[in-house]
Amino acid sequence: MGRTLRVLVVEDDEDMRVAVAAELRAAGFDVTPAPDIATAAAALSAKPFVCAVFDRMLPDGDSIEYVHRYRVAGGAVPVLFLTARDRRTDVVAGFASGADDYLVKPFRVQELTARVRNLARRAGSGRSTVLRFGDIEMDTARRETRRAGVLLTLSAKEFAVLEYLMLRPEQAISRADLIEHCWDELSDPKANVVDVTVKRLRDKLHDPNVIHTVRGTGYRFGSAGQS
């Protein structure tokens, strides 16, 4: 595969842990097994992984709580929960904690391998789900935006506009571009919907302003300038 595709498998049931590790090794992955959260945490701090597979209920706690703490601390390894907990609320809680995928037991080995491979590709792409500019931090996976550590309440359109601008810092972005990428095809590029959304974003982001008006064009996200 060219580089080491190391996967962490966190499962307290020894038979299951051995079986999952064997299947992933057969698929070409370098597997590090762990029976509990403490062992997993030590491994994540010591080695680079392309994916971590967590059982939910482990001897030293619910891994969903650990994954949440891991994400808050900036941990970026893709996480897949492999668990018998199949209620809708469990699945939603798993993704809310920062998981990238959720597979319910019993499962097909081929499906697990395919999902791990997909997460490994994502990790290998080098693309982070977190955008940062100054004291602004946007987590595109969790759909959360903070400024100076304070969580902001953004609408779906406000989030989409800010994400599009943050991905293109210091570039002049036209209103038509924002309409095309953040609204549906029925929207009118001449309407003031973009200006209204940007005004709300500025109000929520507070000063210093980072969304600047470019006369005759649209907007620019970045350092100080005309606004």
**Residue bearing tokens 């300038």:** 225
Architecture of domain 6-124: 3-Layer(aba) Sandwich (3.40)
In this prediction, residue 110 has a pLDDT band, given cuts at 50, 70 and 90, of confident
Distance in angstroms (rounded) separating the CA atoms of residues 147 and 136: 4
Is the confidence at residue 128, as pLDDT, over 70? Answer: no
**Residue 196 β-bridge partners:** none
Q: What is the pLDDT of residues 47-60, one digit of tens each?
A: 889 899 999 899 99
CA-to-CA separations, 86 to 83, 98, 124, 216, in angstroms, rounded? 8, 17, 29, 53
The model's pLDDT over 37-50, given as tens digits with 9 standing for 90+, comes to: 999 999 998 888 98
Q: What percent of the chain has pLDDT over 90?
A: 39
Give CATH 1.10.10.10 domain extents, the chain.
Answer: 130-221
Intervals of CATH 3.40.50.2300 along the chain: 6-124
pLDDT score recorded for residue 190: 61
What class is the 130-221 domain? mainly alpha
pLDDT of res. 138: 87
Question: Which element (helix H / strand E) includes 123?
Answer: helix 109-124
200 band by pLDDT with thresholds 50, 70 and 90:
very high
Structure tokens given for 161: 């506009």
pLDDT given at position 98: 85
pTM of this structure: 0.55
Question: For the segment 5-48, what is each residue's pLDDT rounded down to a tens digit?
Answer: 899 999 999 999 999 999 999 989 999 999 999 999 999 988 88
Distance CA(81)–CA(54), nearest Å, equals 5
Three-state SS at 157: helix
Terminal Cα distance for the chain, rounded:
49
Q: Is the pLDDT of residue 187 over 70?
A: no
pLDDT band of 226, cuts 50, 70, 90: very low
